[in-house]
Structure 1
């Protein structure tokens, strides 16, 4: 077996194990932040393999109701892509703030290559995540971002990737105490592992895991967290270790005799990616404007989503409807041909995002900015198609035409990779199809 094969095998092994926090300290301790692998970026292929494996398992089990829906899958995956787009231009604020505090205010510096440091950082990040997550449910301005993750009415591995663009801008402060003594290289490893671990627990395939349920956050525990049944509300905030919920009184066990209905108590009912990300901000501002008293207006943002004047900080649980499963799910869908079309362009946008993320140091700022605009315009248009917007065809024609014009003026044909010729063909025919859509606008298929 040659070295290249060994390296590939090792990389795959590390990638898979990183999803389960199973990369030991000897393999995941680094002296400098520049040496820390981009575990999350490298995990993207494993996400998709796992998603289709989950769908196959549900198919052979005869649970077609639990197989991902293409429209909901787009909504989840587009949110995941959009949440990573700001990182193409600027460093993660969690990392930047942590590094700044460590460099200027650290009290002590634990050794980067010690398993004790590794373990302390793992526990510190997980405890920090518990409080980030809990506050994201108990403070309305943080919930405005986090509700994106809960907005899916499905519960599968796609849902794990449904992330908010704005959440990281409120979460960074919870990790700063560790920066007083734990090196940033350790923090950057564990903040990624903590996120990756939570991928596999977003599934109905995995049942209860016996004694592990006492210590680890599992699929069973996290199903409760995503439920909108009354007993599920504001429970099981853990990232990796469920012990924090047991310690702080927010744990509840999944009921075997009661099915879980997933999603928000008040569903969003949209596949528009910008609306999903921003709708709760719109609601909060509108509510604050209609509420009398400055203190009450401020409380709309700082207290729980269920708060109103005269109620306790988190509102009354009894005010939440006692929703039971199954519940009807929001459903607007496309024809098979249009589904193939939009998903072809989604995967092109995903490849553009992944390529830019892995090569952002060598790409210029203009190239990166163009990639961001291309990705976001693609996701926006797909949302328009799923929502059957009247201007979807025109926006798509302009996007495809812009790509072809930019390609004509920007790319030197002699040095272009062969794959770009395929892209040109796709976008040329896509521009024609979008023109056809403009003049022969099909009606979306609505399923009750």
Structure 2
């Protein structure tokens, strides 16, 4: 049977090939659809989601499996074409409702918001995924378990539905005629990601857009009102941890500050943006301005190139983590995961132009070089080849030296700007 792991092994290289093609097509057409820091942030959030998934995958799959095994009145055959087809259709319908309620219920939006935070729209946006969706998302798929669809089939179908949605996150593909009327397409999904009044909370379908037509949530993209992307509470950060906590934290604060107990609960189940009247009066928030400038902290070219290089290395480490983590004892896997998350956060601070990012990155690169040189080990490789150890030490050491050079350059540049303005 086809496994999710095998599907992903085929898909991941394809993602980056298609991202490269999209970038080239956009350049050829004279359009700027990518920004390096935004792309790093989106890909980093996808990486963080996969890291979390290593530890939580069995949570959702395990619950589904238990319901399918113990509560389903029958078990459908996994070798039947109609079972696969019906499973895909049912999954896509259930996904529609999870996705829709993810925009209509605050606690579900808190998980889903991560996917909408980017103020650009390209194929890296598709990989921008939540790290907390596992907490409640499994509830919506229990009908499949109770109808007897096998656990292995559910896992594959879920991945197929998710992978389909990758290609619709692009601005370089226009209208597709009849296809737009039946399926989720780039045009339909661009409208979904927009914050314009016209498009807000529409087009939830994963593979089929007919669900939106049936339930009254369809909207067609309008050339006279082009989509503006992001959320109505802009993230304004490249920090992947804050991206995942951005809605949870204000909900906790509003719930704490609410004077009435029913309001403390309503904060979690009301639509996004709802606040108790007394809380909104005491802690007002600025109104959303659709014309606000896209988040883009100014950083030097050297810092931008450094960020791209270090993210590429973190991405390779993340791929290695996904390969070795299932075979590692939990403490080692958790330590490796924390190392990667620390690296993503340090890089986020660095790309925001914050001084703490320099110190965190210096600590990571110098610490990695020293630690690996002294121990002769790398995560998941208790007896690592000497050439692997040397390569890690050299790359981390070069990163530390480069970071010191960039830190000196940034300091001199800041002093020069102060002397000019002073």
Query: Normalization by structure 1: what TM-score?
Result: 0.83
Which residue, 20, 44, 47 being the options, matches 2:15? Answer: 47
SS state at 2:247 partner = helix
> What whole-Å deviation, never above 9, does each CA across 1:358-405 have from its counterpart, x for those lacking one?
333333434423321221111011111112222222211221232123
1:215 to partner: Cα distance: 1.3
Which residue, 232, 236, 253 being the options, matches 1:286? Answer: 253
Which residue, 64, 69, 76 being the options, matches 2:42? Answer: 76
1:264 to partner: Cα distance: 0.8
Matches within 5 A, 1:327-406: 328-406=293-371
The equivalent residue for 2:235 is 268
Query: Normalization by structure 2: what TM-score?
Result: 0.88
SS state at 1:231 partner = coil
1:348 to partner: Cα distance: 1.5
**Alignment pair present for 1:422 and 2:391:** yes
SS state at 1:332 partner = coil
Deviates more, 1:191-200 or 1:82-91: 82-91
Return 5+ residue gaps in structure 2 as ranges.
278-285, 418-422
Inter-partner Cα distance in structure 2 for 1:438 and 1:328: 28
Matches within 5 A, 1:33-182: 35-64=3-32, 66=33, 68-180=34-146, 181-182=148-149
Kept after mapping to 2: 8 A contact 1:214/1:242: yes
Relative to 1, partners in 2 of residues 1:366 and 1:129: Cα closer, same or farther, differing over 3 Å?
same
Inter-partner Cα distance in structure 2 for 1:218 and 1:145: 23
Kept after mapping to 1: 8 A contact 2:4/2:159: no
> What whole-Å deviation, never above 9, does each CA across 1:392-426 have from its counterpart, x for those lacking one?
22211221232123313443698516344332211
Deviates more, 1:261-270 or 1:430-439: 430-439
SS state at 2:131 partner = coil
Kept after mapping to 2: 8 A contact 1:270/1:387: yes
Return 5+ residue gaps in structure 1 as ranges.
1-28, 311-318
Inter-partner Cα distance in structure 1 for 2:42 and 2:251: 23
The equivalent residue for 1:228 is 195
The equivalent residue for 1:18 is none
SS state at 1:43 partner = helix
Aligned pairs, number: 401
SS state at 2:57 partner = coil
Matches within 5 A, 1:202-241: 202-241=169-208
1:169 to partner: Cα distance: 1.5
